[in-house]
Amino acid sequence: MQAEPGTILRMDATTGMLDVTPVPGDPTYVPVASTYPTGVFVNWGIGFEVDGAAVIRELDSGGVEGDTYGGGVYQTAMATLRHRVLVTAANAASGGNNRGMGGGVHGSDASFTDGVFFTMDSGASSGGCQIFHKNGATITPVGTATDDDNDDNDTLELRPTLTAGVWTYTVYRNGNPTACAWTDSSNAATPGLYTCFAFQHRRAGGLEFYSNGLRDFTAEDF
């Protein structure tokens, strides 16, 4: 199902159907429900699922040790490069080694082949917040703040800003900028119009460590 940028998408939890109400200039808001909104998001990387508690979480690593990444790409392009994503953190994971969740902007296409995304770990983990530049299969960490983490129901945002031809990507937590930011002074990223939610997953010693997941996703031009 496709919708114009600026359309509000709301999941009717009773019918499991998406209600589309065009409201020009408003964000595209996709609340998570027990029925997955088919066609609104497409897997990238390790992919995702909606669990029984209506939380979007990443799939396991498929046996790959170390950190892996992925999530879902929102299939409607934004109208301008001046867009942002917001996700609401859940509390699905526990333990000191669980991984991060977040979102991405400036995706090159509906597969998020290239783009910029971030993940933020829960308070139980020491990983903090990281911003990544994705260039095909190569994912490079470009910005880190070890003292930032997410709590249940935190709103996390990735916001790009343009100054003198250079994009800066900043992570916000509950409306406040964090120290997790990246200024792309070498123009390594080529901005596109697609957005996503994102996860960092870890497998260590044969054990799978999941993120806290997310409850909803918002993409908007601003």
pLDDT value, residue 152: 79
The answer to the question of residue 14 being in a domain is no
- What residues have CB less than 8 Å from 220, skipping those under 6 apart? 6, 26, 27, 28, 78, 83, 84, 86
DSSP 7: E
* pTM beyond cutoff 0.85: no
User: Is 22 inside any structural domain?
Assistant: no
How confident is the model at residue 33, as a pLDDT? 42
Q: Is residue 74 in a domain?
A: yes
* Predicted local distance difference test score (pLDDT) of residue 110: 94
- Nearest CA-CA partner of 90 in 179, 139, 2, 150: 150
Element (H, E) at 215: strand 214-221
Closest CA to 101 of 82, 83, 86, 84: 86
Kindly list the distances between the CA atom of residue 84 and the CA atoms of 73, 127, 157, in Å, as whole numbers in the listed order. 14, 23, 7
- Look at residue 99 and tell me if it is in a domain: yes
Closest CA to 128 of 176, 66, 77, 173: 173
Query: What is the distance between the alpha carbons of residues 215 and 13, in angstroms, rounded to a whole number?
Result: 14
What's the domain count of the chain? 1
Q: pLDDT of the chain along its 222 residues, tens only?
A: 444 444 444 444 444 444 444 344 444 555 544 444 556 788 888 888 777 666 788 777 777 787 889 999 988 899 899 999 998 888 766 555 567 889 999 999 999 999 999 998 876 555 688 999 999 999 999 988 876 667 778 889 999 999 999 999 999 999 999 999 999 999 999 999 999 999 987 777 887 777 778 888 888 888
Can you give the CATH number for the domain in which 116 is found?
Answer: 2.60.120
The answer to whether residues 210 and 57 touch, using CB atoms and an 8 Å cutoff, is yes
The reply to whether 194 falls in a domain is: yes
Quote the domain boundaries for residue 107: 41-49+56-83+91-211
Quick check: 105 and 84 in contact, CB under 8 A?
A: yes
pLDDT of residue 2: 45
Quote the CA–CA distance of 222 and 162 in Å, as a whole number.
13
pLDDT value for 147: 62
Residue 29 lies in a domain: no
24 in a domain, yes or no? no
Residue 27 lies in a domain: no
Sign of the C-alpha dihedral, residues 62, 129, 36, 42? Answer: negative
